[in-house]
Amino acid sequence: MRNLLYIIYRFSALVTFILLELLSVYLIINFNKSQGEIWSHSSNLLVEGVNQKVGLVEDFFTLKSKNDSLFRANAELLQTIINYRIFSDDKGGFQAYEQAISDSIPSYKLITAIVTSRTVNLRNNYITIDKGSAQGVKPGMGVITDNGVAGIVKSTTQKYASVILILNSQSRISCKVADKEYHGNLIWKSSDTRIMNLIDVPKHADINIGDRIVTSGYSISFPKSIPIGRITDYKIQGGVNSYNIEVTLDYDLSNVKHVYVVQFEDSEEKDNLLSSLNE
């Protein structure tokens, strides 16, 4: 008992000190707004720092699935925009679009695909994508990226498809000057992966540098109003009735990774009609 009392006496100062100091800190935190905020903030800083680090590692592992889901979500949005452009035009408004979708009038569908191999530095450039006939990809379908036109499907296998990029001497894309309805064909003559040439635009057309070039929608491959680029230069060659327009692409095809294959539900009918006209 004496020992216990002695110990209590011996440590009474320290115990009193610790208790009162804790009481002070308690008072500071509870009755002073700024200190209370700093305390909660500091503890958050510490905890949040750790949480953030863990989150970063976690993010890294979920990156792929997040990317995939974003990719699919993006495809759906693009698809909606494309179909909206087509159906809302004549009748007007969003109701017309919804009506058309509910009546299941043939519309555009996008198939997501990832580029498995590509060339961009040759005269005729191709990419290979990881979707094939099993997923509904057929030769002649257009391929677009988030930003614009990429190319046209040339051939397919069960699981893969080969796409002619617009950076290819065989590529001809039907285009028009946005809002002006002059249309021509987009070809690639230069070796620069960002510069395209628009030919067959009649020379009476009123065009300016900076005008946007979009797809015309006349072919079955692409819906209308998919962006391509801007006019950076134009000239009329002697003895020809059309402009030679230089178009700079808005996007870089040399690092394209995610693409969408444009599938028109009623393409066969339009295809037949076009081929019968050609005969």
Partner 1 sequence: MNELWRRNIIRTLFVLFLQLILLKRVNLTLGDFNYVHLTIYAVIIALAPLKMPRALLIGLSFILGLTVDLFYDSLGVHAGAATFVAFIRHYVLILLMPAEGYKQAVLSPYWYGFSRFIMYMSLLLVIHLSVLYSLEAFSFVYFKEIILRTISSFMASLFLIMIGMLIFNPKY
Minimum gap (Å) between residue 10 Cβ and partner 1: 10
Apex 78 CA angle, 76 and 79, nearest 5: 60
Minimum gap (Å) between residue 50 Cβ and partner 1: 18
Minimum gap (Å) between residue 233 Cβ and partner 1: 57
Phi and psi for 212 in degrees, rounded to 5? Answer: -80, 140
Strand partners, 155: 162
Site for partner 1 in 235-264 (CB under 8 A): none
Residues contacting partner 1: total by CB under 8 A? 23
Minimum gap (Å) between residue 94 Cβ and partner 1: 53
Pick left, alpha or beta for residue 200 (phi over 0 → left; psi -120 to 50 → alpha; otherwise beta): left
Minimum gap (Å) between residue 27 Cβ and partner 1: 3
Sign of CA dihedral 209, 245, 119, 271: positive
Minimum gap (Å) between residue 4 Cβ and partner 1: 16
Q: Does 20 bind partner 1 (CB under 8 A)?
A: yes
- Rounded to an integer, what distance in angstroms lies between the CA atom of residue 50 and that of residue 251? 39
Give the range of 7-15, 122-130, 164-172, 247-255 binding partner 1 by CB under 8 A: 7-15
Give the range of 12-20, 55-63, 77-85, 152-160 binding partner 1 by CB under 8 A: 12-20
Name the residue nearer to partner 1 (CB basis): 28 or 96: 28
Q: Considering only residues 12, 117, 169, 272, which one is a binding residue for partner 1 as defined by CB under 8 A?
A: 12
Name the residue nearer to partner 1 (CB basis): 38 or 195: 38
What binding mask, one character per residue, do residues 21-50 give for partner 1 by CB under 8 A, x or -?
x-xxxxxxxxxx-xx--xx--x--------
Taking Cα atoms as reference points, which of 91, 83, 133 lies closest to residue 113?
A: 133
- Rounded to an integer, what distance in angstroms lies between the CA atom of residue 273 and that of residue 70? 37
Minimum gap (Å) between residue 57 Cβ and partner 1: 27
Taking Cα atoms as reference points, which of 168, 183, 189 lies closest to residue 214?
A: 183
Name the residue nearer to partner 1 (CB basis): 10 or 91: 10
- Rounded to an integer, what distance in angstroms lies between the CA atom of residue 218 and that of residue 270? 10
Name the residue nearer to partner 1 (CB basis): 45 or 77: 45
Sign of CA dihedral 13, 19, 20, 22: positive
- Rounded to an integer, what distance in angstroms lies between the CA atom of residue 6 and that of residue 176? 98
Binding stretches for partner 1 (CB under 8 A): 12-17, 20-21, 23-32, 34-35, 38-39, 42
